[in-house]
Structure 1
């Protein structure tokens, strides 16, 4: 798996933990920084909502708050109560990350501001919190509403999942013409006698950086790959300096795009073109090796033996043929994937340069009946010295789905 942008078995230290594998926060793609910010925001909004009760109590003469000196008619008292309830419920939905909180928040905002206007001289400073709530609702529209990259990703997945094939099984005959290291890898992975993979859903967590000196960004991610018409849909939630960053990679119809947005709204990257498509073709091949090894028997891949531990695969999608060298140990574990056909972002950020890229696997695991990677890294190999830009853990893996879990 990758993000666009003597081999003994070594266990890589676990990346900084953004939540346990069982945590619903992880399933929702949330990081510690985002969770903390969410609860702080929810607490501020909840307090703002509770303060509206003062207007309700004053209107009925049950309490005389010193903060409110203007008279509030009983009819407006009910407006203050409605605003209090709507704002507090909105805060609760924010705290629990409920879908649609931003829509209720906009309604609560209208009620709150109307109540504030009824006692403007004393309550006008509540408009500051309402301005904060408005910004939060606008962010929510793009982060979890129908207008953001996350929603675009989910729609794309939903459109493709019904298009599945009845999977045929991998047989020993399928392995006959493959180099010995690839045969060993496939047998050890347990694909022989099992159905071929036609789609994959993977959930990841880890950390990533742009250069060897950049700070690390923690992330969680989900991706779906489809084999019939090579497609890769990858959505990442990252956090840098406490601010959320959304990343959405698409490889579909033999073309690739990449979008990056700060706060789910502000565009940072909007890339496409033949260079990105070629780079993402390498990523597709890497995904097959790490997530769907049964597909390495496909005719779109031509194999060449190098030695007892290495083999070169040439993978073709459309006009692009790329190659990579797979390293496999005696037991059959995939140790590394190295390609010279990957393209890295140039130093000025305005183009791409061809650069060696590798994804060493540090630990393997069995998820259900599937043997797959567990921890791994992504490395760039520039002339000034190789460095790891990615540390990653595979949290969950499912194959041949007909619907997307949780969507």
Structure 2
């Protein structure tokens, strides 16, 4: 809704500047402008119109620096308004309304923006992959039967081992059990040679944009959220956050990169023909999870009691966490579930807080990619 309002203001405000051009060249009578306007000034009025329209086009085509054109348009517009203050002073209100999203967008160029922090952390970890080892039947021989069947089903046998992936997700999230759903867009990189997870999310609430960064690098995990790139509303970290992200990264190994499950540091136990339990250790933190499969060999659910729920990034509660998935699709010859839910199983009832759709995934990515929201 705010995008439509922004577009409306830019179009109307931009076209109003044509009046100065029309008056300067005597194309029509412009009684609204009582001051004389030179032809040179008229060209500037026209240029300002074109800059506002260009700003809008670049905004909708998601050009990173659309806001820079907007700044030039706003500066020229305000100079013209000041020169014709009695006739055009109310244009200042429109300029202020346009300035707000322009200013917010400009903050993304700062090194401290989540977008640039995400980019820097990913680029630090992407490196050429020298090991082209292929996953073989011998590599999966130590795994429980249902896990072996899953790896065969997903097509990892005979393909290179996975050292990282880049993924794009879209979907809906809830901030609390009683809150409304919001639409989100997320992109992430997971690394497995030296485990790390970088998850960048963008959305808006009541039309106000916010973004967040989950970063699990080295031996610590953080989860930060800012509204309008200015106001930080969440900053979760600490031992419980580290443990929770251990669960998350292992979950994504199971869901999106099952080739990584051959790691000998993962301990396994077969519970029955369709269920297996795993213990994953990273940073001296061991978590456990139960994996559920169907007769086809698909992983259909993952649950763990080792992840913590925090609604504010400060207080944590322990509940069972599960991620049922479905709708397997082929990516680069590997089958991956493209739809999933994330659920907290609370005493008062299940709290489904996320529904995601996997849009794309690239295995063993060699370069950084950032998609504009």
Matched, 1:360 2:324: yes
Q: 2:116 aligns with which of 151, 155, 170?
A: 151
Inter-partner Cα distance in structure 2 for 1:68 and 1:145: 40
Q: Which residue of 2 aligns with 1:110?
A: 75
What SS does the corresponding residue of 1:248 show, helix, strand or coil? strand
Q: Once the two structures are superposed, what CA deviation does each residue of 1:45-98 show, in whole Å capped at 9, x if it has no partner?
A: 122122112122323433331211122334433332332222222222223332
Matched, 1:247 2:242: no
What SS does the corresponding residue of 2:148 show, helix, strand or coil? helix
Q: Which residue of 2 aligns with 1:286?
A: 251
Matched, 1:339 2:283: no
Structure 1 residues 333 and 394, CA gap change in structure 2 (3 angstroms): same
Q: Once the two structures are superposed, what CA deviation does each residue of 1:287-330 show, in whole Å capped at 9, x if it has no partner?
A: 00001101101122111222222111111111211110111223
Q: Once the two structures are superposed, what CA deviation does each residue of 1:378-402 show, in whole Å capped at 9, x if it has no partner?
A: 1101122223222122111110111
Matched, 1:401 2:337: no
- Preserved contact between residue 327 and residue 335 of structure 1 (Cα < 8 Å): yes
Q: Which residue of 2 aligns with 1:210?
A: 175
Matched, 1:48 2:13: yes
What SS does the corresponding residue of 2:269 show, helix, strand or coil? strand
Q: 1:175 aligns with which of 129, 134, 140?
A: 140
Inter-partner Cα distance in structure 1 for 2:273 and 2:106: 54
Structure ranking higher on relative contact order (CA contacts 8 Å, 6+ apart): 1
Task: Structure 1: give runs of 5+ residues left out of the alignment.
Answer: 1-35
Q: Which residue of 1 aligns with 2:56?
A: 91
- Preserved contact between residue 17 and residue 48 of structure 2 (Cα < 8 Å): yes
- Preserved contact between residue 361 and residue 373 of structure 1 (Cα < 8 Å): yes
- Preserved contact between residue 171 and residue 357 of structure 2 (Cα < 8 Å): yes
Task: Structure 2: give runs of 5+ residues left out of the alignment.
Answer: none
What SS does the corresponding residue of 1:281 show, helix, strand or coil? helix
Q: 2:262 aligns with which of 288, 293, 297?
A: 297
User: Which stretch of structure 1 is more off in the superposition, 350-359 or 63-72?
Assistant: 63-72
What SS does the corresponding residue of 1:402 show, helix, strand or coil? coil
- Preserved contact between residue 342 and residue 354 of structure 1 (Cα < 8 Å): yes
- Preserved contact between residue 223 and residue 235 of structure 2 (Cα < 8 Å): yes
Inter-partner Cα distance in structure 2 for 1:91 and 1:292: 40
State the number of aligned residues.
371
Inter-partner Cα distance in structure 2 for 1:176 and 1:88: 62
What SS does the corresponding residue of 1:213 show, helix, strand or coil? coil
Q: Which residue of 2 aligns with 1:19?
A: none
Q: TM-score, normalised by structure 2?
A: 0.93
- Preserved contact between residue 142 and residue 149 of structure 1 (Cα < 8 Å): no
Task: Give the CA deviation at 1:147.
Answer: 5.5
Task: Give the CA deviation at 1:240.
Answer: 2.9
